[in-house]
Amino acid sequence: MANLLTYCAGDPLQPIALIRTPFPDKFSIPRQPGLAPSVTARIEFTGDFDHLASIQGIEQHSHLWLLFEFNQHRDHGWRERVRPPRLGGNKSMGVFATRSPFRPNNIGLSVVKLVEVVREPEVALVVAGADLLDQTPIMDIKPYVPYVDCLPDARSEFAQAKPAPLSVHFTDQARLQLSEHQQLRPELGAVLVEVLSQDPRPAYHASKNPDKRYASRLYDLDVHWHVRDQQLWVTAITGDHD
């Protein structure tokens, strides 16, 4: 009990950085890291943590662990039982048996690939494969160490492998719009395919409302799409100034 009281009386946790990602809202964010490897994000250090000394040697690691705050869930409370999308949203499990954001302390963990170390004018890290909302607070960064972090005998019975992806297709109109927007963002086509092939629909929509039309917000774009016969069709890609 003494240790617990000491911890509670100490300084509160504070973010060391914010991450800038293409995901301004939660819909369409990949449900796990690494599923959209073409998605790059920028970790921008803040306040007292914006110093080169704090990241010296970080380029010796190919991947990093990010500890972050599910900051949009601060006021939602935690749930003892949740319904993982991987189980179709129909079966509940204990929150500590899942990666649900509805946790007592709103802390998440994600592994990303280190792409670039930016040293000036501000200290920043460019990473790939992030599954985080834009401007998510980063609480800590630790190196991914393969010989201890990669466990070949590990198992997860309800998530043994990543789900089979949907095939992604573009209408003629959407393909023309994609070509226009790729002049500014050459990676856009790959990002769209990787993100949308994961089927961002809520699990219960796939069976109860198969004809529903959707719009995903990526960067400053609205991507309109629907699923037909297990094929995802992008019908329009519009920007704020279109």
Q: With contact defined as beta carbons under 8 Å apart, do 223 and 188 qualify? A: no
Burial 79-88 (b: 16+ CB within 10 A, else e): beebbbbbee
pLDDT digits (tens, 9 = 90+) for 181-205: 999 999 999 999 999 999 998 876 6
pLDDT digits (tens, 9 = 90+) for 124-157: 999 999 999 999 999 999 999 999 998 888 887 7
Strands 136-143 and 124-128: unpaired
- 55 Cβ partners below 8 Å, 6+ apart? 45, 117, 123, 125
pLDDT digits (tens, 9 = 90+) for 193-242: 999 999 998 876 666 677 799 999 999 999 999 999 889 999 999 987 66
Q: Give the type of residue at 43.
A: I
Instruction: Indicate if the pLDDT at residue 98 is higher than 50.
Output: yes
Instruction: Indicate if the pLDDT at residue 88 is higher than 70.
Output: no
- 100 Cβ partners below 8 Å, 6+ apart? 79, 82, 84
pLDDT digits (tens, 9 = 90+) for 16-66: 999 999 999 988 899 889 999 999 999 999 888 888 899 999 999 999 999
Q: With contact defined as beta carbons under 8 Å apart, do 144 and 62 qualify? A: yes
In angstroms, the CA 70 to CA 137 distance is 8
Q: With contact defined as beta carbons under 8 Å apart, do 150 and 54 qualify? A: no
Higher pLDDT, 185 or 74: 185
- Residue 52 structure tokens: 């080169």
Region 98-110: mean pLDDT is: 87
